[in-house]
Structure 1
Amino acid sequence: MFVDLDIENCSVLLCGEATRTERVALKFAQATEVLRFNRVEDMRAPGTPVGLVVLCVSDEREAQKWRAAVLSSGIGAPSIVDTEVPAESQGEVFLIGAGPGDPGLMTRHALEVLSQADVVLLDHLAPYQDLPRWAPHAEIIDVGKIPGKHRVPQREIDQLMVRYALQGKKVARLKGGDPYVFGRGAEELYVCEKEGIPVKVFSGVTSSISLPAMAGVPLTLRGVSHMFTVVSAHQKLTDSELDQLSGLLKDGGTVSILMGVKTLPHTIAGLLERGVRPDMPMVTVQDGFRAHQREYFSTVGTCLENYDQLKPPAVTTIGNVCAAVGENREELMGKAFETH
């Protein structure tokens, strides 16, 4: 804090990037008014007298640009440079994996952090029914992104996390599944770290494993499959990606596809063209752990017969392990026991 400055009876003008000026504004709560300019080209003399100009910058070059803008605008107030972050105002962000939708699959750590949260930024697929009870002191903001209809753009979500944390609040970013499995957790961590905001990550149960498991399908099985891969197919898979998946399936592996309903015809056609057996079993679990959950057991060659019934969110699993449910169960489990 600038303890030698008397700011109680004057207006303060903050110049610099938005998140930085917002952070520094916390130091000048006693000022008559705090004004902010976030772009040099917008600088102009405000309608009220200014007693102090604060340049909220990261280096001297940026400070020089703002000084020139202040001078040209005719503001005659003294100026200082501020690069400090007030430690007492620092908040933190928690990236929480809420699991596939069943509140019972949330971790104890997740529930404990929610109970302390001041703000919860809620994803579309995260459980929400009991959220007011889990986070009784929090402001709950729905930032859910629906396929093709992004309610809040990712950049705005990042800005919300940073803004509330810089106000000294505990921000819980509640995400469906696991933050690091196609959950943009690493990107959100990076955004916060750039602003000096501490972040803790709490893993969640990923739908890529839990949904097929709920349908009775293991992703690995001794003597049948010793490897699996998780794929995001919200965009059409490339030829190279289809080559890799078909090779994995031919070698006895398992493929779990997330966000792949829209592109499923393209995926299946690509696998068949690359020699994947038409009779290879597969299962799609739609609306997992929800009231309208449905399970579609089929094969690579027949799965598109009921394609018009499939709706996101859904997880599709392909591989010999899918025969763990059905008439070939005894044969499949026999292979597992043979390797004991």
Structure 2
Amino acid sequence: MSIESVRPPTDIPFPEALAMLRAAAEESRLRILALLAEGELSVSDLTDILGQSQPRISRHLKLLVEAGLVERHREGAWAFFRLREGGFGLVEPLIAGLERGRPPLSEDRARLEAVRAQRAEAAQSFFARLAPKWDRLRSLHAPEATVEAAVVDLLGARPIQNLVDLGTGTGRMLTLLAPHAARATGLDSSHAMLSVARANLERAGLSRVDLRQGDIHAPPFGRGSFDLVVVHQVLHYLDDPARALREACRLVAPGGRLLVVDFAPHEIEALRETQAHRRLGFAAEQIANWLEEAGLGPVAHRDIAPADGTEHPLTVTLWLAEDRRVRSDAQPPERAVA
């Protein structure tokens, strides 16, 4: 989502508006807001970019959070900051109109690019260690491009307001779908994988996608928060996939959809050892029953056969389900857990 897409909120209480403007009316904090307009950053990132001490940066961020301009979320031992949705609208014209071609903003932007390059290099180094295993798995099923084309085709042209990718991994589904969503969020339990996803999304020009660290069995989001929930190649790693799918269904808004992508049943036992798979695929009936028990009705089911000549072919299966409730008949979404 671009900064231009944010619209100022209406009816802001005068004390809150004054607090927002006072918080922004300081050089370092205004520079921080300009940087966060480019995407989420950590205290360490901002320390490197602005050349200020960590306590000083933390103090500025605390004031911006208290004023409702910035929000904070934890990722293991790390904390990331981003512009707060809604609260930013009041100072949007100011941030959008800043001249970025001259110091200090031009220098900040150059250092931001350097920080992102370092982050991308570290993420690539981590992923390079995993690549042989991933390449081996990809060789057993249809090309990723074929699967992704099927995902796009199955979802169709229906608008996406709020998207969440549970178990986002490298962020590939976000890279594919976030450009078509008003807002996109990725959840993963691994800080290292989120670092890979963050680097991949920034490389794709999608730096304002929200990434969260959390458990897919207990996602930190309110009921009915998303009109599209994606669970892509995750269930076969889980001890309790049924519970994870119930939690995914809980997040679907009235009239919203859930997309599940995983393997059909197979007998490649070696994947338990080489890829840490807990389940050897899922029957269509099994997934359909879990979805129905959670209150979602099936919409579509599609099998993608493996490419010819693979040693141990795997079939990739897509399931698309929909919440049949009418939006006006449902309770408003619960607030997400911070």
Which protein has the bigger helix share?
2
Question: TM-score w.r.t. structure 1 length?
Answer: 0.26
Q: State which structure, 1 or 2, has the greater radius of gyration over its C-alpha atoms.
A: 1
Question: TM-score w.r.t. structure 2 length?
Answer: 0.26
> Greater relative contact order: 1 or 2 (C-alpha under 8 angstroms, separation 6 or more)?
2
